[in-house]
């Protein structure tokens, strides 16, 4: 079974631009979560989508948004990029949502975003 895939793997953007990252979960997984990882803040939860609905959201500004399609693929969008948005963005999928008792996450390789 193929793992979680993320595209693109590397991205360089200029401050003020917007960016869209894509995540394809493991086949059959309905939950997709997004995380931001930086050296200073570590891994921080952005949001979780389950069956096309955002179920949980972390403490990030509204510039960070996402969506999930009927095939469970998910996209994350960051508008008006800031230098501090430079990070590794990780996507994880799970067969269950946050409320599932055996919720276990499988991570993709990440997208390295650099904002200049």
The contact set with other proteins (CB under 8 A) reads: 4, 6, 33, 42-45, 48, 56, 88, 90, 92, 98, 101-110, 112
Give the residue with the Cβ less far from other proteins, 17 or 41: 41
Q: Which is nearer to other proteins, 52 or 104 (CB)?
A: 104
Two structure tokens written together for 18: 């917007």
Least distance to other proteins from the beta carbon of 94, Å? 10
Nearer to other proteins, 66 or 110 (CB): 110
Task: Give the chain's length.
Answer: 116
Smallest distance from the beta carbon of 80 to other proteins, in angstroms? Answer: 26
Are 51 and 32 in contact by the 8 Å Cβ rule? The answer is no
- Contacts with 72 (C-beta within 8 Å, 6 or more apart), sequence order: 25, 29, 30, 32, 93
3-state helix, strand, coil in the chain (%, to 5): 5, 50, 45
Specify the residue for token string 């009927």.
Answer: 70
Q: Which single residue is written with the structure tokens 């995380």?
A: 35
User: Among residues 10 and 70, whose Cβ is nearest to other proteins?
Assistant: 10
Residue 16 Cβ, how far from other proteins at the closest point, in Å? Answer: 26
Least distance in Å: CB of 11 to other proteins? Answer: 14
């Amino acid at each position: 079974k193929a793992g979680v895939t993320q595209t693109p793997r590397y991205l360089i953007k200029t401050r003020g631009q917007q960016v869209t990252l894509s995540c394809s979960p493991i086949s059959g997984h309905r939950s997709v979560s997004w995380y931001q990882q930086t050296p200073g803040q570590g891994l921080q939860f952005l949001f979780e989508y389950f069956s096309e609905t955002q179920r949980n959201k972390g403490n990030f500004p509204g510039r960070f948004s996402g969506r999930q399609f009927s095939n469970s693929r998910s996209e994350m969008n960051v508008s008006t990029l800031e230098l501090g948005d430079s990070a590794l963005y990780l996507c994880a999928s799970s067969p269950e949502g946050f409320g599932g008792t055996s919720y276990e996450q499988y991570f993709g390789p990440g997208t390295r975003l650099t904002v200049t």
